[in-house]
């Protein structure tokens, strides 16, 4: 490491903090200085960039460096996820709430239901939902179910589309799912079945982008787990309003078990199922 690489100065950290917050709403507080520094050092060493200063110049002009922009977004986001993450919540979601939503759709003459995994990382969450629906044969014959997975990280979305997963990501997956939906590619990788790959639509979407969020409409269910925790309270409230707007009346929101936002009781009615909170959209 050369002298210029000896560390992020406070000014550099604050500059990065502002850029990340402005772009993605993510809050890097001072306790995360080393995390950010290490992530950037890895990128600098991968690219052959000479110094933090040179890297920061690029970062301040990201529209001129589209490839570096995607790498930067990926670098500062945390993609921790796995299949069957919070399995009791998924069970309530698929076996408790979905049949109800499907029944309502049929009764009201709708032929399409939309489920959105917002902040889906490398795809485990929406694939998990699609697999569970298939395994439990819960989709009525004449109903089209669209499962949509979005994330701000284009690299995560590309990985999701490939459908390749390592055994760590599958560590909580029950045997009958492994057997039915995954094939071993090599010692480390498994590929998910085509039926599952083809049942999820993936795209890049930034949850703080008001215009793009305005296009997400009439969702029956939004799953946004372990994403709001990265935002400060203002951004969390703003994103919550966007998600509320994206749901159809009476639509459901699933968030992470430790997550909340300030207008939650005004915007949603809490329905607890098997101890799992389910939030139903109120018209406000």
Ligand X SMILES: C[S@@+](CC[C@H](N)C(=O)[O-])C[C@H]1O[C@@H](n2cnc3c(N)ncnc32)[C@H](O)[C@@H]1O
Contact between 259 and ligand X by CB under 6 A: the answer reads no
From 8-16, 76-84, 245-253, 262-270, span contacting ligand X (CB under 6 A): 76-84
From 20-28, 59-67, 88-96, 184-192, span contacting ligand X (CB under 6 A): 20-28
From residue 29 to residue 58, what is the string marking binding to ligand X with x (rule CB under 6 A)?
A: ------------------------------
Cα 206 from chain centroid (whole Å) = 10
Q: Is 101 exposed, middle or buried (0-12, 13-18, 19+ CB in 10 A)?
A: buried
From residue 205 to residue 224, what is the string marking binding to ligand X with x (rule CB under 6 A)?
A: -xxx----------------
With beta carbons less than 8 A apart as the criterion, state whether 120 and 202 touch.
yes
Any residues with CB less than 8 A from the CB of 243 and at least 6 apart, and which? 118, 207, 222, 224, 253
Contact between 238 and ligand X by CB under 6 A: the answer reads no
With beta carbons less than 8 A apart as the criterion, state whether 179 and 79 touch.
no
Residue (77 or 199) nearer to ligand X, CB:
77
Min dist CB 212 to ligand X, Å, is: 9
Distances (CA, A) of 246 to 98, 156, 218, 222, 228: 18, 23, 6, 9, 16
Contact between 77 and ligand X by CB under 6 A: the answer reads yes
Residue (125 or 220) nearer to ligand X, CB:
125
Range 94-123, binding ligand X (CB under 6 A): 119-121
Min dist CB 79 to ligand X, Å, is: 4
From residue 127 to residue 166, what is the string marking binding to ligand X with x (rule CB under 6 A)?
A: ------------------------xxx--x----------
Contact between 173 and ligand X by CB under 6 A: the answer reads no
Across the strands, what pairs with 192? 182
Q: What residues line the site for ligand X (CB under 6 A)? A: 24-26, 77-81, 85, 119-121, 125, 151-153, 156, 206-208, 225-227, 230
């Amino acid at each position: 490491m050369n002298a210029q690489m000896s560390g992020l100065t406070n000014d550099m950290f604050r500059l990065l903090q502002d850029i990340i917050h402005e772009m993605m709403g993510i809050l890097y507080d001072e306790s995360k200085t080393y995390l950010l520094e290490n992530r950037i050092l890895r990128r600098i060493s991968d690219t052959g960039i000479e110094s933090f200063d040179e890297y920061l110049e690029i970062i301040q002009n990201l529209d001129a460096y589209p490839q570096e922009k995607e790498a930067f977004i990926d670098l500062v986001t945390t993609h921790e996820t796995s299949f069957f993450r919070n399995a009791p919540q998924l069970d309530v979601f698929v076996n408790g709430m979905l049949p109800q939503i499907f029944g309502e759709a049929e009764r009201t003459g709708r032929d399409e239901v939309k489920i959105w995994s917002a902040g889906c990382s490398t795809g485990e969450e929406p694939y998990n939902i699609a697999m569970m629906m298939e395994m439990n044969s819960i989709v009525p014959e004449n109903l089209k179910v669209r499962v949509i997975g979005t994330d701000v990280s284009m690299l995560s979305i590309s990985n999701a589309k490939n459908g390749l997963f390592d055994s760590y990501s599958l560590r909580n997956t029950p045997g009958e799912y492994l057997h039915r939906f995954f094939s071993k590619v090599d010692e480390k990788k498994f590929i998910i079945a085509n039926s599952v790959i083809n049942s999820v639509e993936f795209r890049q979407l930034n949850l703080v982008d008001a215009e793009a969020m305005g296009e997400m409409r009439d969702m029956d269910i939004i799953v946004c787990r372990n994403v709001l925790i990265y935002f400060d309270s203002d951004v969390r409230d703003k994103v919550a309003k966007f998600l509320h707007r994206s749901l159809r009346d009476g639509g459901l929101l699933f968030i992470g078990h430790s997550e909340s936002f300030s207008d939650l009781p005004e915007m949603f009615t809490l329905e607890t199922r098997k101890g799992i909170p389910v939030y139903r959209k109120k018209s406000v």
